Amino acid sequence: MATTPSDGDLAALLGQCTIEEKISLLSLKNVWETAAVDRVGIPSLKFSDGPNGARGADFFDGTTAACFPACVSLAATFDRDLCRRVGVALGQEAQTKGAYVLLGPTVCCHRSPVGGRNFEAFSEDPFVSGALAIEYIRGLQSERVAATVKHYVANEQDTRRFTVNEIVSERALREIYLKPFEMVVKQADPWCVMTSYPKVNGAHIDAQPLFLRDILQKEWGFNGLVMSDWGATSNCDDSLKYGLDVETPGPAKHRTRDNVQGSLAAGRITEKDVDDRVLALLKLLRHTGKLTDRKDTPAEQAIDRPEHRTLIRQAGAAGIVLLKNDSSNSKDGSQTKTPILPVDPAKCRKIALVGPLVDHAAAHGGGSASLNCHYKVSPYEAFKSGLGADVEITTSKGANITRAYPDLEAGAVNRNGNAGFIADYYKTPDLSGEPFHTEEYPRGAFTTLMNTSAVGAKSARFTSTYTAPTSGTHYLSFSGLGPSKLSINGELVTEQPRELRDSMAFLLGVQDEIRFQHTFVAGKVYELVIESVPSPTNNAELHLLENLIAAHLGFVSQADMEVDLLAEAVGLASEADLAVCFVGNTAQWETEGQDMAEMALPADGSQDQLVAAVVKANPNTIVVVTTGVPVALPWLDQVPAVLQAWYAGQETGNAIFDTIFGAVSPSGKLPVSWPKRYEDSPCFGNFGLDSYDSQVVEYVEGVNVGYRHFDRTYGKGADGGEVLFPFGFGLSYTSFAFADAVLEGTFTKTGDETVTVSVTVTNTGAVAGSETVQLYLAPPAESEGAGAGRPPKSLVAFEKLHLQPGESKRTQLTFARDGAAYWVEGQAWRVDGGRHSVTLATSSSPRDVKATLDLDIKEAFDFSS
């Protein structure tokens, strides 16, 4: 291994570059790679999405990759060590894709239960988000793969995210939205930070000095690389002056050679501004070894590591939250005394698995977190493999929740004799001449998004031959990003004369489509031809979606569409010893690019009707909810057990199976509050689709996010905002006792002290299990901060303990003055004097407090970051 370059070596390398070469390094050269300057030995560096797996260069159907649990699932583990191990594995995965920068983790706090991208972030609580992201980053960067902490800052909603102006108080920014970024910068030294799309208080992040120059660099001491989100660079001059190092993706829109040289000549920027940006990239190249032993970018590989399989299964199970576990009523009306979970397979000879997610492995949400998994284990596959032939398993979807029809795939063969379609791309808008690029696709969907080989296409023809496996008047859906036509056997069957209203929705598979029926005869061959051109307008508010071509052909057989799924599921459940109902969202419903309209499960109440009907037919019913957010549970009182499974990665089915049958005692805790109704959320009416037509969204709740809000409204009437399940809540198959809690320490203006709470925790049950001890701090009731609207309490520490039956452990929870501080706008952090209340608990609810201790701080004091 060559000697690591010193700072002096990097300065010398920078000095060898011409101004043109420096400008080339201010943006990516393509979608995923920085430019190289071969003349002086500066190599290219490859980036890759995303936070739960290294996808590689292709957005769709790329090299297969391992899919890890989503960050919200990791947060539910409350397990620092597990997050670090996942980070290590993600670093190893990124290297298989030739990438040494991974675009994750996402540490934006959950502001609303209908945030479309919440699953990709950790928690509503900034401390949990920061503490677990720190371990993720340490693990990732131990493999010399850069973490990219995103999205800095206030990227909590996806509705109009490219143009919305978010009005956030200075105090809310400091205490909630900046806090996890501050924690990871100071404690984990991430090598990259990604800026967000929205305007914050009137200007984009890269167009104002506050966030990048003043806070991130000067105040927190960040010395890594700052990149924009893809297409989020808003300007040339300010972004260069204030600290945005790399514009993504390439080729540059703002930092073209002419723009930068023109700004230099006019004196709007200096060459030092350029040098500072390039030097940040050189430091990143040094961190990742690209200047020494990793100069080449290797080809992508699909390496399915057994140890990663094991880790994903373990992490997925550790994040599952047991929300309810009561005894069930038997079919004859008698009631058992034992909780229904864990299930004893010896007592279940016939199990009905029902619900739209029975045979669907909900491994990840939609958008940047999606990838082509090595494999995915559905619940049905896990039950079939785990139980064997001794248990009869019956299945039914029970409800159809498809938002866009699935891609036509089975029966399609292209002209090369391979399964799927072929796209021919043309430089002419009328498909004349010869195609300049031809590419095969495995199914009835194609796009030029992030496809560098199809750049410049003015039209495309997408073709296949389709042999119908069954006769029927089947159901099809059709849509194009721009004007598009579909012909079958030379006859035009449908046409979309205009571009779609929402380009982003199309690319995420959640678009409005033309739906129709067409008669097919089994065994007959049909020629399918789609012709499409780019959208003539940019209707997604993002320049990256300009001049793209894409089309989708969906298909559902007549038999599948017209079957009575609800009756089928109820019939199977009524005949079984046990029914397990799998409901939730899919990547079509929960995705980057769109927020959800409501907390209800999709679609049109069909899943709620399914659960209610199934439990009525079989009171021995377990419900497994797979979402990245809380959802309404109108049937909660009727079912004996509910599990929240999140998006647990490619081993999701096995993780659920392990939990239901007791191989794992559930230990997940809610990293978010679970409201009874969306209307009870603190930002209701001021988030996402609630205010779609507004270009301005105000963070009206200030610092009272999540449990902070519910603490303030708790008990104020039947529907006064009391949560269905509190933050930090989660049941177990065992029980725990707390004893001998002791607090030591206090804070003074010297700033070096810590406060430690010690407690002994004992597993008082019959099986091994894990408990998360949570420490909350409440300010003095008479304090200035309380009078100024300070939240009733805040989480300041947590520790997860793994205990065998009868085992006791004494643990310590420690926090510094940051935990007791609040922000005084325009000034600094302040710690109030007086008697603070410290509670040891297993959730944020008063019902789960195990001990209350006093922390006396003699006098108030201020401090800066």
- What are the backbone dihedrals phi and psi of residue 352, each rounded to the nearest 5 degrees, phi first? -100, 120
CATH of the domain at 519: 2.60.120.260
Name residues whose C-beta falls within 8 Å of residue 679's C-beta, 6 or more positions apart in sequence.
Answer: none
Name residues whose C-beta falls within 8 Å of residue 111's C-beta, 6 or more positions apart in sequence.
Answer: 124, 156, 157, 683, 687, 699, 705
Name residues whose C-beta falls within 8 Å of residue 6's C-beta, 6 or more positions apart in sequence.
Answer: none
One domain, residues 436 and 472: yes
One domain, residues 396 and 419: no
One domain, residues 531 and 576: no
Crossing angle (nearest 10°) for helices 257-266 and 271-287: 130
CATH of the domain at 390: 3.40.50.1700
Residue with tokens 């707390």: 738
One domain, residues 282 and 257: yes
Q: What's the pLDDT tens digit per position in 65-111?
A: 999 999 999 999 999 999 999 999 999 999 999 999 999 999 999 99
Contact present, 500 and 512 (Cβ < 8 Å)? yes
Residue 119 in any domain: the answer is no
Average pLDDT, the chain: 94
Residue 64 in any domain: the answer is no
What share of the chain has pLDDT > 70, as a percent?
97
Q: What's the pLDDT tens digit per position in 575-598?
A: 999 999 999 999 999 999 999 999
**Buried residues in 278-293 as b, exposed as e (16+ CB within 10 A):** bbbbbbbbbbbbbbee
Q: What confidence category does residue 720 fall into, taking pLDDT thresholds of 50, 70 and 90? A: very low
Residue 539 confidence (pLDDT): 63
Residue 123 in any domain: the answer is no
Could you say which of 79, 125, 158, 229 is catalytic? 229
One domain, residues 575 and 653: yes
Residue 754 confidence (pLDDT): 96
Given 225, 253, 287, the domain boundary residue is 287
One domain, residues 488 and 436: yes
pLDDT, mean of residues 189-201: 98
Q: What is the C-alpha to C-alpha distance for residues 607 and 588, in angstroms, rounded to an integer?
A: 16
pLDDT surpasses 50 at 671: yes
- The range of the structural domain enclosing residue 821 comes to 734-863
Q: What is the C-alpha to C-alpha distance for residues 491 and 529, in angstroms, rounded to an integer?
A: 10
Q: What confidence category does residue 330 fall into, taking pLDDT thresholds of 50, 70 and 90? A: low
Q: Which of 44-53, 441-450, 466-475, 533-542 has the lowest mean pLDDT?
A: 533-542
Task: Note the pTM of the prediction, 2 decimals.
Answer: 0.94
- Selection from 842, 797, 844 nearest residue 820 by Cα: 797
Please write down the HEC assignment for all residues of 105-144.
CECCCCCCCCCCCHHHECCCCHHHHHHHHHHHHHHHHCCC
pLDDT, mean of residues 238-249: 98
- Tokens (6 digits) for 11: 């300065």
Given 548, 574, 596, the domain boundary residue is 548
Task: Give me the amino acid identity at 260.
Answer: V
Contact present, 537 and 502 (Cβ < 8 Å)? no
Number of domains in the chain: 4
pLDDT surpasses 60 at 785: no
Q: What's the pLDDT tens digit per position in 176-186?
A: 999 999 999 99
pLDDT surpasses 50 at 717: no
pLDDT surpasses 50 at 719: no
CATH of the domain at 757: 2.60.40.10
One domain, residues 823 and 741: yes
pLDDT surpasses 90 at 510: no
- Tokens (6 digits) for 495: 């046409």
Residue 603 in any domain: the answer is yes
Contact present, 743 and 755 (Cβ < 8 Å)? yes
Q: What is the C-alpha to C-alpha distance for residues 68 and 58, in angstroms, rounded to an integer?
A: 18
Residue 809 in any domain: the answer is yes
Q: What is the C-alpha to C-alpha distance for residues 366 and 359, in angstroms, rounded to an integer?
A: 18
One domain, residues 423 and 467: yes
What is the distance between the terminal CA atoms of the chain, rounded to a whole angstrom? Answer: 39
pLDDT surpasses 70 at 653: yes
Q: Is 463 exposed, middle or buried (0-12, 13-18, 19+ CB in 10 A)?
A: middle
Within 10 angstroms of residue 663's Cβ, the number of other Cβ atoms is: 12
One domain, residues 834 and 763: yes
Residue 337 confidence (pLDDT): 74
Residue 616 in any domain: the answer is yes
Q: What's the pLDDT tens digit per position in 605-638?
A: 999 999 999 999 999 999 999 999 999 999 999 9
Residue 826 confidence (pLDDT): 82
One domain, residues 521 and 583: no
Residue 270 in any domain: the answer is yes
Residue 711 confidence (pLDDT): 92
Q: Let me know if 390 is a catalytic residue.
A: no
Q: What is the C-alpha to C-alpha distance for residues 241 and 236, in angstroms, rounded to an integer?
A: 9
Q: What is the C-alpha to C-alpha distance for residues 150 and 724, in angstroms, rounded to an integer?
A: 30
The full DSSP string for 531-566 is EE---SS-TTS-GGGTT--EEEEEEE-HHHHHS-HH
Residue 697 confidence (pLDDT): 96
Q: What confidence category does residue 690 fall into, taking pLDDT thresholds of 50, 70 and 90? A: confident
Q: What is the C-alpha to C-alpha distance for residues 178 and 196, in angstroms, rounded to an integer?
A: 13
Q: Is 848 exposed, middle or buried (0-12, 13-18, 19+ CB in 10 A)?
A: middle
pLDDT surpasses 50 at 716: no
Contact present, 191 and 225 (Cβ < 8 Å)? yes
pLDDT, mean of residues 411-422: 96
Q: What's the pLDDT tens digit per position in 138-185?
A: 999 999 999 999 999 999 999 999 999 999 999 999 999 999 999 999
pLDDT surpasses 70 at 193: yes
Residue 214 confidence (pLDDT): 97
One domain, residues 199 and 245: yes
One domain, residues 654 and 587: yes
Residue 720 in any domain: the answer is no
Given 287, 315, 331, the domain boundary residue is 287
Within 10 angstroms of residue 825's Cβ, the number of other Cβ atoms is: 12
Q: Which of 246-250, 496-500, 550-554 has the lowest mean pLDDT?
A: 496-500
The full DSSP string for 713-754 is HTTSSTTSS-EEE-TT--B-SS-EEEEEEEEE----TT---E
